[in-house]
Structure 1
């Protein structure tokens, strides 16, 4: 990254290099002089918006450190300045208290890792940009590992990449009471017919089950071409959906409680074929081989290109508060049309 693009920020591009990433990731920016949290960070963004977009497309992730972001409100204003029109209707995360278009991070057991994924890759729309803000770092663990999904295609076995690119992925989700967010909350409606209409418009198969539960099946790409650069990237949520990625005791309990056909989440190839456990193991090994980790500091904010970079969450202990924002929704149909 040319330092002249950011003459008033110190660039630590080599600080967190990933072994298999062509460009250092994330690009780490720190101001050369302290910023006034009430004004200067947003003014700085106005001046450097084009350079930030170029940096994001090159590196996939930009970490802002010491930008005077004192609280979630300042972060939301900062993210809104970078990418106006933050998305405020996301059903998979709880809203952040006091925020308009920000969310709390996924409420998931602290001792377990949230595996690598691209946000909403299983949905009809997903955000191109995703922001994370560290309101309070945990004293132990709690990193947000990131992976360059372009690098994943270089690391994964060629035959496996070809299979996923050709056959795609089918995500099966069962909105089971007590195991997943209720379908009413996810779809923001009590009207079954509205849910059906939206599913049909998005090309999602659906089936109403007993106990007022819903199952959906969605075929999505596993490898996409980025709409701005044309670069290919391993873009999906196979780790979050495939049953083999669950801890063994959790998997066995769920199979006993729900049965193989009604697991909260499962992933198959798009033609309905099984994705073997060995394939999932190879994907997990590749993610870890490409992963970059950094220790959160209070006030840090990171911007990801969700179509180039996957993220995860490491286990932690103690208090941890990470705020999330998203913007620039991309339609799956548009990406598929451009890829063909």
Structure 2
């Protein structure tokens, strides 16, 4: 009988964490299997599992959370990406690894696909658990294919036609400073706008605004399936809850809210629109409790993620790989950037079929 090496694909068992739920669970069948080496030797198999289910959770391997960056790089086929164009606070932990979003522990982070408001975004997203919270703190997942199928046809049609407009207002003492978020100073704003297909405007001496229109629906380049890929709800002002949103509006006014979304034509999303999207996510969302050393890899197009409130100390690390941009995928609508009358238009790959 052939002796199995530690890197043989049969050394790792793939099975559902829960029936028909995200993610698929990968566990070693013997002690001491090095996750980094195993994934490097079996990256194609992992990518296949990710395409099938959207996410893979590695549990019980010898390296634990330290395997995050090399695992993400092996699956993505390139080095870890820097966190750029950030919309949430994070801390750099070194070598392409970051803290998870540093929001107050009593808040929920809504379901979203990473960085899809930007011109470029990662196709592979990784999380690792260095320390689980005392209670809560799950990283819920939802299949973006199924979310799209659940949405009302009229809402999808409007968003396929117009996309999502992402608005960000930078003012002193509110949210992330624009120099940190955009990664440049005043002299680099024009280059940033050209590179990212974003409109940048000085509204006042202490007020910088950016606007970008991105597609709402994407065809996965490997599976050919259409997926819901936007942050219409998680980027919207209402994501912080009605009470906090009302308080914030009272403090800064509607023209200075740190971030929000509209339909790509500039019209406001209705409560019914936002409610329908949230209901679709709720129907598809599954969650698991983190264990020390867990490493989760996610296909950013196929699976959305979020964060549950928690108590105690929680340390979840994040890394990203496989950079893509809107020219790399077929989209609905088939344009990314601002409408032609705004002066920035980009034709993306393929027309709607």
Q: Under a length normalisation based on structure 1, what TM-score does the superposition of the two structures give?
A: 0.90
Q: How far 1:198 moved relative to its partner?
A: 1.6
User: What do residues 130-181 of structure 1 show as CA deviations (whole Å, max 9, x unaligned)?
Assistant: 0000010001100000000000111111221122111211010112222211
Q: 1:10 corresponds to which residue?
A: 13
Among candidates 113, 118, 130, match of residue 113 of structure 2: 118
Deviations 1:245-268 (A, max 9, x none): 331221111111221122111111
Query: How much does 1:222 deviate?
Result: 0.8
Distance in 1 between the 2:220 and 2:238 partners? 29
Q: For 1:79, which of 49, 67, 72 is the aligned residue? A: 72
The residue that corresponds to 2:176 in the other structure is 181
Task: Report how far residue 91 of structure 1 moved.
Answer: 4.6
Q: Provide the alpha-carbon RMSD of the alignment.
A: 1.7
Please show how residues 149-298 of structure 1 align to structure 2 within 5 Å. Answer: 149-190=144-185, 192-298=186-292
Q: Which runs of 5+ in 1 are unaligned?
A: 19-23
Equivalents in 2 of 1:81, 1:200: separation in Å?
31
How far is 1:90 from its partner?
2.7
Gap change, CA 1:187 and 1:65, over 3 Å in 2: same
Asked whether the 8 Å contact 2:72–2:125 carries over to 1, the reply is no
Q: Deviations over 1:224-264 (max 9, x none)?
A: 11122221000011122222333122111111122112211
Distance 1:157 1:242, change over 3 A: same
Deviation per CA, 1:170-229: give whole Å up to 9, x if none.
010112222211111112222x23122221333211211334331111000111111222
Partner of 1:21: none
Looking at structure 2, the residues matched to 232 and 212 of structure 1 have their Cα atoms a distance apart, in angstroms, of 41
Q: Choose 298-307 or 200-209, whichever is displaced more.
A: 200-209
In 2, the alpha carbon distance for the partners of 1:224 and 1:142 equals 29
Distance in 1 of aligned mates of 2:116 and 2:233: 12
SS at structure 2 position matched to 1:7: helix
Unaligned stretches of 5+ in structure 2?
1-7, 332-347
Aligned 8 A contact 1:16 1:292 in 2: no
Instruction: Report the 3-state secondary structure (helix = DSSP H, G, I; strand = E; otherwise coil) of the residue aligned with 2:117.
Output: coil
TM-score by length of structure 2 reads 0.87
